[in-house]
Amino acid sequence: MFGGLATVPTNSPHLRKSGSRPVFSDLGTTDVENGADENFLHSAETDSLKGSNTPISTGAMMPSPIFLWRIKVVFFFIWGFICCKIGWDSVMRMSVDLRDLFLYEAFLYYNPLLLVTMAVWFWGSNLWVFSQSTVSYAKIFDLDQNHLTHREIWKAITFSDFFVADILTSMSKVLSDLERSACRMVHRQVATIAWFEADSVCGSHSVAIPIVLVLPYLFRLFQCLRQYKDTGEKTTLLNALKYSTAVPVIFLSALKYHVLHEKWISFYRPLWLLSSVLNSLYSFYWDVTRDWDLSGFTRIFKFSRPSLLSNLLFGRKWVYFWVLSSNLILRCTWTYKLSAHLRHNYLTLFTITALEIFRRFQWVFFRVENEWNKMNSKSNAQLSLSELPSEEDKLLASNNHNALGKKKNSAECTGFQSRPEPNEITPRVLTILSSVLERLVARNDRLVMEGLNGKSLKAFHGVRAPSISIAKYLERLYKYSSCSPSCFVVGYVYIDRLLHKYPDSLVVSINVHRLLVTTIMVASKMLDDVHYNNAFYARVGGVSNAELNKLEVELLFLLDFGVVVSSGVFEIYCAHLEKEMLISNDYSCQKIERVLAVDDITEISVEDNTHTSSPTQMGD
């Protein structure tokens, strides 16, 4: 296999020259080395101009795009003003009764579309502000997905799913109005006064109104329950309770026209008021302390370190006073729009719905930035040694590796030892593996460009490259996980199998650490009779337990559960790593400890024929 240097086709993305194309980083910036790309692009443009019949001065004669955009905006406003003027003159020619009826019917049909347009415009404003700041909304919402598989449909709930569902809760009144408009068209009540009757099938007393109103809150409620199932975090149950408090507000209000008036006044109305106050205050508290993570109101009023509050607002204290007060007031008026029995004044209801969309527009800034700050802190977080759990957290699990009947001591079979002391000598495999990976990552970081790196390893990508080096990270995993040195070789095998299976994916600085902790953890479960659980590896690796659980599942599916490594394949990869060190002129580490002997009858499994022993993709 490794008798000579591994040859890779010249069109392989792993061997693309670093100066051939501009390299785009995770934040979208371009890295051009020594001006080579600029000279290349300049010469290409010059050649194209020389080979065409278009004079070079033609480009200077073209009008500015900004100037054309301004002309289009001016013509658009003129056209809109003319249309509004013609429509208004036509309406004013009607009689008073006919005019009121026409305006009311037009309002019922067009106010949902107007509110949707308003929400989209506000969302565009959110994105513009994020683009002017350091918040990468594309990274937060994971927008680079152009296909949907069966695994992605049933995948764990993401932030973008939460975000869309929260937006829909503010659009519940709009959805209800759209349902009423569709109902009138289906029952042919357009341009008639039949729908004006409250008790008609499409009237304001219809039972479909509260059902449509409650749907966004039920969606969000089920998302919280699913999140609790995936992560086990109890705060998600409290969040689900918040959305469940909106259900009584909606249905108690709808009962007014279906129960006796005396019973409504004496019993249902007090319940409706109580549930409305509870929902408004609970939602306001959750917005401030959970969604915005302002950690209590004292930080805002003291304002001792405004930089901790927001990177978007740069410590403007008055903004927080405005957002807190307006959010509380609009949360209370929000009850008005959810109540079906308060729909007699349609202009007031339209205004309150528009204000609710504006409140959600404000909410987006703080919610998205809070998520961005969490992602940054998670990528930069490093576990202190004092936070490591005790031996009681260790999970003792026998994998029955000695199924063939030859029993050995766990340390003899797997190389497992007690937690090493800080002064112990680092195993040779860590030195060799870190050197190979560092050279690979350094090369791939220069090759990464827009559209080149595949999406297969996207789940392992972080916001930015961690500050800890690969060598220190491997030493940390070995020091505190107590896994055998063979686990690092098997983890290397898993990564190489990924690159064989998904050749468009690259191991780069933003995913190598998560790949290492995940593959080594899985290898430890396959090799070692005694190993730590996922929570321990998550703390050692500097990621959350929920994230590591998802990464483990993602790795297993990407490998098609091909985690079996025979002793023969293990020996081949050890020899390849040793050869890599010889090629790099490092003669200090020539041999790797062989824990899995070729003739060992207690090998992990029978010979693995499902994975070829082709040259590794990870060598230089």
Range 340-356 average pLDDT? 74
Measured N-to-C along each axis, helices 346-380 and 159-170 cross at an angle, to the nearest 10 degrees, of 160
Tell me the two tokens of residue 483.
């896994």
Look at residue 199 in the predicted model and tell me its pLDDT.
56
Nearest-CA neighbor of 205 among 262, 255, 276, 273?
Answer: 255
Cα–Cα distance for residue pair 282/277, rounded to 1 Å:
8
Please, are residues 223 and 157 in contact by the beta-carbon 8 Å criterion?
yes
DSSP 64: P
Distance CA 586, CA 579 (A): 10
Which residues neighbour 26 within 8 Å (Cβ) at sequence distance 6 or greater? Answer: 139, 461, 463, 464, 510
Q: Which of 142, 7, 131, 11 is nearest to 452 (CA)?
A: 11
| Structure-token pair, residue 113 | 């579309």
H helical segments located in 232-316: 235-244, 246-254, 261-263, 269-286, 298-302
Query: How many Å separate Cα 55 from the centre of its chain?
Result: 48
DSSP letter at 171 equals T
What ranges make up the beta strands (E) of 299-401? Answer: 395-396
Q: Which residue has the higher pLDDT, 158 or 393?
A: 158
- Prediction pTM value: 0.47
Which range among 131-140, 163-172, 290-299, 329-338 has the greatest average pLDDT?
163-172
Q: What's the confidence (pLDDT) of residue 407?
A: 36
**Whole-angstrom Cα distance, residue 92 to residue 439?**
77
Q: What is the 3-state secondary structure (H, E, C) of 537-560?
A: HHHHHCCCHHHHHHHHHHHHHHCC
CA dihedral for 565, 567, 570, 576, sign (positive or negative): negative
Host H or E run for residue 615: none
Using only C-alpha atoms, what is the Rg of the chain? 32
- CB-CB neighbours of 352 under 10 Å: 18
Q: Tens digits of per-residue pLDDT, 16-74?
A: 333 333 333 333 333 333 343 434 334 434 443 334 444 434 444 555 677 777 788 88
For residues 548 and 410, the answer to whether their CB atoms sit within 8 Å is no
Residue 102 in 3-state DSSP?
helix
- Residue appearing with tokens 């008021």: 273
Tell me the three state secondary structure of residue 23: strand
- Segment 391-412, tens digit of pLDDT: 333 332 333 333 333 333 333 3
Instruction: Read off the pLDDT of each residue in 91-107 and give the average, rounded to a whole number.
Output: 75
Alpha helix positions (H), 287-345: 298-302, 317-338
pLDDT digits (tens, 9 = 90+) for 579-589: 777 765 554 44
Q: Which residues contact 224 (CB under 8 A, 6 or more apart)?
A: 236, 237, 239, 240, 243
Residue whose pair of structure tokens reads 């109305």 in the numeric block? 269
CA proximity to 616, closest of 512, 489, 454, 448? 489
| Helix (H) or strand (E) segment spanning residue 531 | strand 530-531
